[in-house]
Chains A and B, each alone.
Chain A
Amino acid sequence: GQNIDQPTEMTATEGAIVQINCTYQTSGFNGLFWYQQHAGEAPTFLSYNVLDGLEEKGRFSSFLSRSKGYSYLLLKELQMKDSASYLCAVRDPMDSNYQLIWGAGTKLIIKP
């Protein structure tokens, strides 16, 4: 079956670094996505990994290991506005519409 696992909730301190992990077991793989979703709002795109390695984009970085079925999102210099849910999603090439398979999301709480 298709399964994506990520922690339900994490807490971190303003100014610190936090790593949100995501593991997946899917029938196929055609890229992994990270989205940020603030409460009551729609998700916004953060990053996309299709090859192994680290993709850096400002304070946010995303890592992928396809052999391990593993990714993480790294947030540096945390700000209060980073408090949000972070969604991991995998694109399934076996689906005719290439739809995304979504994790349940990790709620990140930033404390002063």
Chain B
Amino acid sequence: GAVVSQHPSRVICKSGTSVKIECRSLDFQATTMFWYRQFPKQSLMLMATSNEGSKATYEQGVEKDKFLINHASLTLSTLTVTSAHPEDSSFYICSARDRGGIQYFGAGTRLSVL
């Protein structure tokens, strides 16, 4: 299957700092990428849909000014958690959709805000 690379895999930061997470499709071009959040023992929660060259579409309840998404190329999308607080601690997962419509996931980023 296709490969999606997500970095970093683990981040520990102080409250108030910003954290940038990168998501790359390594062997295919992805017009659309998705950012999810997952709490322990819960299902995936879609945060936003990222389309190359245009503004991201955020799900209801997700603050676009707090979770900045940039999809500058067909292989790279970034999520920046601005002024992170302990309640932002979670498992963030990106996925990229290939031309066949299959979503492939990155390995996820575990964010811990102290």
User: A102–B103 contact, CB under 8 A?
Assistant: no
Which residues of chain A (2-36) have a CB below 8 Å from chain B?
30-31, 33, 35
**From A30, A42, A99, contact of B93 by CB (8 A):** A42
Chain B residue at minimum C-beta to C-beta distance from A100: B103
User: A104–B107 contact, CB under 8 A?
Assistant: no
**From B6, B44, B101, contact of A98 by CB (8 A):** B101
User: A42–B101 contact, CB under 8 A?
Assistant: no
Residues of A within 8 Å of B, CB-based: how many?
A: 22
Majority SS at the chain B contact face: strand
Residues of B within 8 Å of A, CB-based: how many?
A: 22
Residues of chain A contacted by B46 (CB below 8 angstroms) = 99, 102
User: B43–A105 contact, CB under 8 A?
Assistant: yes
**From B1, B32, B44, B107, contact of A97 by CB (8 A):** B32
Residues of chain A contacted by B78 (CB below 8 angstroms) = none
- B57 within 8 Å of A by Cβ? yes
Given A99-B34, A102-B44, A103-B43, A42 and B49 contact (CB-CB distance below 8 Å): no
Residues of chain B contacted by A104 (CB below 8 angstroms) = 42-43
Bitwise interface map of B from 61 to 78 toward A, beta carbon under 8 Å scored 1, else 0: 000000000000000000
Bitwise interface map of A from 24 to 67 toward B, beta carbon under 8 Å scored 1, else 0: 00000011010100001111110010000000000000000000
8 additional A-B pairs beyond A42-B108, A99-B46, A102-B44, beta carbons within 8 Å, are A40-B91, A42-B93, A42-B105, A44-B1, A48-B101, A87-B43, A96-B57, A100-B103
- Chain A residues with CB under 8 Å of chain B are 30-31, 33, 35, 40-45, 48, 87, 91, 96-100, 102-105
Q: List 18 A-B contacts (CB under 8 A).
A: A31-B101, A33-B103, A41-B108, A42-B6, A43-B44, A45-B103, A48-B101, A87-B43, A87-B44, A97-B49, A97-B57, A98-B32, A98-B97, A98-B101, A99-B34, A102-B43, A102-B44, A102-B46
- Chain B residues with CB under 8 Å of chain A are 1, 6, 32, 34, 42-44, 46, 49, 51, 57, 91, 93, 97, 101-108
